[in-house]
Amino acid sequence: MKRAFLIHGWNGNPSHGFFPWLKAEFESRGYVVEAPLMPNPSEPAFEAWVPFLESLVGTPDAETIVVGHSMGGLATLRFLERLPEGSTIGKAILVAPVVNAIENMDLMEELVARPWLDRPFDDAMIRRFGDKIVGIFSDDDPYILLTSEEIVRNRFGAKTIVEHAKGHFSGDDGTTDLPTILQFI
């Protein structure tokens, strides 16, 4: 069974930005789609988000696609690194994923983000899926710098794409569709 999981970011929800459009695109291609509201999206916590994602997806297979935006992209990376040896996934598509830093945060946001950012990645565990990971970035993202693109490409072995003038790919900056994703499903 073809399954897709759409994981929104910090302060996001599944009916915002490009997620409604993407859900319809996946469904038109025969996917069963889950686009949950992540736990406490205004204060995303590793201890809540990653186990929630693990429980939601269960055992992924070659017909499983996970799309994570921003903090949802980071949760997707953390999900991948915790999968047991021998696991597989169809695709992990990371849209403006948080990897090493978030720009333009206030002090309260910094306190929420710090536990995520201070936790080192297990690069080898993520790199197992390198040929299944796609990172999509924007050259004018106010929160995620292109140093994140280099990390996703070089450390994790992912294919990356840099879009021009797409901001943070959120509904707030006008992104209501993201056709680039379709070439990977």
Predicted structure pTM score: 0.96
First to last CA, the chain: 14
Q: Which helix (H) or strand (E) holds 92?
A: strand 91-95
Reported as a single tens digit per residue, the pLDDT across 8-28 is 999 999 999 999 999 999 999
Question: Domain-by-domain residue ranges, the chain?
Answer: 3-184
pLDDT of residue 67: 98
Q: How confident is the model at residue 173 (pLDDT cuts 50, 70, 90)?
A: confident
Q: Compute CA distances 123 → 139, 153, 157, 169, whole Å.
A: 25, 12, 9, 26
Q: What is the DSSP string of 93-161?
A: EEES--SS--SS--HHHHHHHHHHHTSPP-HHHHHTTGGGEEEEEETT-SSS-THHHHHHHHTT--EEE
Q: Determine the Cα–Cα distance for residues 94 and 46; give it in Å rounded to an integer.
A: 17
Q: How confident is the model at residue 172 (pLDDT cuts 50, 70, 90)?
A: confident
Mean pLDDT, all residues of the chain: 96
Find, among 90, 170, 110, the residue nearest to 136 by Cα: 170
Q: Given a cut of 90, is residue 171 above it in pLDDT?
A: no
Strand partners, 134: 93, 159
Find, among 14, 10, 27, 84, the residue nearest to 54 by Cα: 84
Q: Compute CA distances 25 → 18, 73, 115, 158, 166, whole Å.
A: 11, 19, 34, 23, 20
Q: Determine the Cα–Cα distance for residues 149 and 37; give it in Å rounded to an integer.
A: 26
pLDDT of residue 174: 87
Q: Given a cut of 90, is residue 126 above it in pLDDT?
A: yes
Find, among 118, 112, 109, 139, the residue nearest to 49 by Cα: 112
Domain spanning 3-184: which superfamily? Alpha/Beta hydrolase fold, catalytic domain (3.40.50.1820)
Q: Which helix (H) or strand (E) holds 6?
A: strand 3-7
Reported as a single tens digit per residue, the pLDDT across 36-92 is 999 999 999 999 999 999 999 999 999 999 999 999 999 999 999 999 999 999 999
Q: Determine the Cα–Cα distance for residues 39 and 6; give it in Å rounded to an integer.
A: 14
